[in-house]
Structure 1
Amino acid sequence: MLDGYGSTIIEGAWLTLTLALTSMAVATVLGLLGAAARLSPVRPVALLGEVYSTVVRGIPDLVLILLIFYGGQDLVNRVAPLLGYEDYIDLNPFVAGVFTMGFIFGAYLCETFRGAFMAIPAGQAEAGAAYGMSRGQVLRRILLPQMIRFAIPGFTNNWLVLAKATALISVVGLQDMMFKAKSAADATHQPFTFYLAVAALYLLITSISLLLLRFLEQRYSVGTKAVEL
């Protein structure tokens, strides 16, 4: 299968999926923090969240990947001698990829979560407080479940884009399925075969993701009624 490179491509696909899932976890945390900052009544905090969201979304992903990976590595090796560490430090491509992708897509999820929170009528939080709930209980029992329902469509779109954007991490040496496919294509001079296989694997990942996230959306929509225009 694939001139003996099939197992190598599958190994790369597993690494790609791991990278995407881990990056999305980081992005979700940063997105929630960013949304909380943007909705904060404290002006400097809200401004910080706005700057993060605006700046990161305004720079191409590939530029940020190269800037964070190579710039971060240079910064680490400049700071390390000041702390008494003299050896050269190579950043792990997987770890760098996870935090870079998480940082980038955290800015997009920041807007997704902010919009979802804003879609919840303010009276519901006030009603929860009137029933004697603490802020944590209002957030956990009233706001978060509804926020998730409103956020799932945007979250789904960001996940699909992130899953495909993991191909960019191959430029910093991560041996994901894109890196493996390029190596196999160079060795066999059959680029169409291997890139088509990678395209099929990406399509498989995104198709399964759509099915799972649609099921999740339907589950969180139980008890709600669609508005007919």
Structure 2
Amino acid sequence: MDGVFSAVGSLTGWLGHVLDPLCGPVGVFSFLPADSIVACGDTGWGDEIALGLKMTLSLALATLPLGIVIGFFIALALQSSEPSLRRAAGIYTTIFRGLPELLTLFIVYYGAQILIQGFLSWVGYEERVEINAFVAGMVALSVVFSSYCSEVLLSAFKAIPRGQYEAGDALGLSRGRTMGLIIVPQLVRIALPGLVNLWMNLLKDTALVSVIGLAELLRQTGVAAKVSKQAFFFYLLACGLYLVLALLSSFVLGFVERWAKRAEIAR
């Protein structure tokens, strides 16, 4: 089994290198002179910035599905016939939409660490425990993303006629199958524009995790700027990379949105 995990890890590392848009075989920085300040290898900062870009994308892509799933269930709770569920979901969205994202990150990173350490001390374990910065960032960004996502999905739910649920009942479908086969496809199409905007915000919010030591794009360019004394160049480079991510996201998500519209017309 260890051999399998090692092989998978090697394959993942090889693919990551091959597909690296900055320092891969056909990466942008790979064609620069060896003495360039952003050259790949020991002579420049290209490898570090490429690593930060990978971390930013990994964090955003890991946060997105978790935030959507949480937001989906929060949206269900907000329209539930059970008052306690509606109140709990309303409190959740009010708190995490009202708090600054940076404060939420600190609460998750330091607060969870204190709680876990306190529990372990209570059971007699005195070793110091430290929360993984990537996991803390993913959880913090997920709860913030889900609080906004739930409102987008709630609006989409309200735009779907009640007759759609009744049609599922008439066909003898359970409520779960009605949700999966009838409601969710329409929900995705209606909510997609709002989710696109939330994804753009999520890409920018990944920069916040630099304050807890995660080596994402902004932190790596910040370190390079301090060491090289080329702050304007490296921060301008960070701006360019974030804009490239935003443009690529707009292109991909625009294609998905057009596909969803064509699929709806085909029906």
Which TM-score tier does this pair reach, normalised by the shorter chain?
over 0.9
> What's the counterpart of residue 69 of structure 2?
29
Shift of 1:223: 5.4
Q: In the alignment, which of 158, 161, 186 is matched to residue 198 of structure 2? A: 158
Shift of 1:20: 0.6
> What's the counterpart of residue 2 of structure 1?
37
Deviation track 1:38-91 (CA, whole Å, cap 9, x = no partner) reads 111101011111111111101111111112211221222111111332100011
Shift of 1:157: 0.5
Q: How many residues align?
A: 225
Query: Within 1, Cα distance between the matches of 2:37 and 2:170?
Result: 65
Q: Determine which structure has greater relative contact order: mean sequence separation of CA pairs < 8 Å that are 6+ residues apart, divided by chain length.
A: 1
Query: Within 1, Cα distance between the matches of 2:117 and 2:57?
Result: 30
Shift of 1:224: 4.7
Deviation track 1:95-131 (CA, whole Å, cap 9, x = no partner) reads 1111111111110111111111111011111122112
Contact 1:2 1:194 in 2 (8 A): no
> What's the counterpart of residue 142 of structure 1?
182
> What's the counterpart of residue 192 of structure 1?
232
Contact 2:108 2:139 in 1 (8 A): no
> What's the counterpart of residue 207 of structure 1?
247
Contact 1:38 1:50 in 2 (8 A): yes
Letter in structure 1 aligned against 2:37: L
Shift of 1:10: 0.8
Q: Does 1:177 align with 2:220?
A: no
Q: In the alignment, which of 98, 102, 124 is matched to residue 58 of structure 1? A: 98
Segments of 4+ moved more than 2 angstroms: none
TM-score (norm 1): 0.94
Contact 1:73 1:89 in 2 (8 A): yes
Deviation track 1:12-47 (CA, whole Å, cap 9, x = no partner) reads 100110001101121111101111111111010111
1:6-155 paired onto structure 2 within 5 Å: 6-155=46-195
Letter in structure 1 aligned against 2:244: L
Q: CA RMSD in A?
A: 1.3
SS at match of 1:106: helix
> What's the counterpart of residue 4 of structure 2?
none
Query: Within 1, Cα distance between the matches of 2:264 and 2:207?
Result: 38
Query: Within 2, Cα distance between the matches of 1:19 and 1:125?
Result: 36
Letter in structure 1 aligned against 2:194: G
Query: Within 2, Cα distance between the matches of 1:178 and 1:8?
Result: 11
Query: Within 1, Cα distance between the matches of 2:101 and 2:45?
Result: 29
Query: Within 1, Cα distance between the matches of 2:59 and 2:116?
Result: 22
Q: Which runs of 5+ in 1 are unaligned?
A: none
Query: Within 2, Cα distance between the matches of 1:65 and 1:96?
Result: 7
Contact 2:64 2:199 in 1 (8 A): yes
SS at match of 1:84: coil
Shift of 1:140: 1.3
Query: Within 1, Cα distance between the matches of 2:37 and 2:80?
Result: 54
SS at match of 1:102: helix
Q: Which runs of 5+ in 2 are unaligned?
A: 1-35, 39-43
